[in-house]
Amino acid sequence: MMMGKVFLVGAGPGDPELITVKGLRCIQKADVILYDRLVNKALLEYAKPDVELINCGKLPNYHMLQQETINQLLVRYAKRGRIVTRLKGGDPFVFGRGGEEAEACQKAGVAFEVIPGITAGIAAPAYAGIPVTHRDYSSSFTIITGHRKEGAEDNIKWEAIAKGIDTIAIYMGVKNLPYIRGKLLEHGKSPDIPVALIHWGTLGKQRTVIGKLKTIVETAEREEITNPSMIVIGDVVHLHNKLNWFEAAKEKELLASGTVKVV
Please report, for the chain, the start and end positions of each structural domain, with discontinuous segments joined by +.
Answer: 5-115, 120-247
Domains 5-115 and 120-247 share a fold: no
Rounded to whole angstroms, the Cα distance separating 199 from 239 reads 18
User: Superfamily assignment of 5-115 in CATH?
Assistant: Tetrapyrrole methylase, N-terminal domain (3.40.1010.10)
Among 153, 156, 134, 146, CA closest to 234: 134
Listed residue (98, 52, 99, 75) closest to 4, CA to CA: 75
Classify domain 120-247 by CATH architecture.
Answer: 2-Layer Sandwich (3.30)
Which positions are catalytic? 36, 58, 172
Digit-by-digit pLDDT tens for the chain (263 residues) are: 689 999 999 999 999 999 999 999 999 999 999 999 999 999 999 999 999 999 997 655 555 689 999 999 999 999 999 999 999 999 999 999 999 999 999 999 999 999 999 999 999 999 999 999 999 999 999 999 998 666 667 889 999 999 999 999 999 999 999 999 999 999 999 999 999 999 999 999 999 999 999 999 999 999 999 999 999 999 999 999 999 999 999 888 766 766 544 43
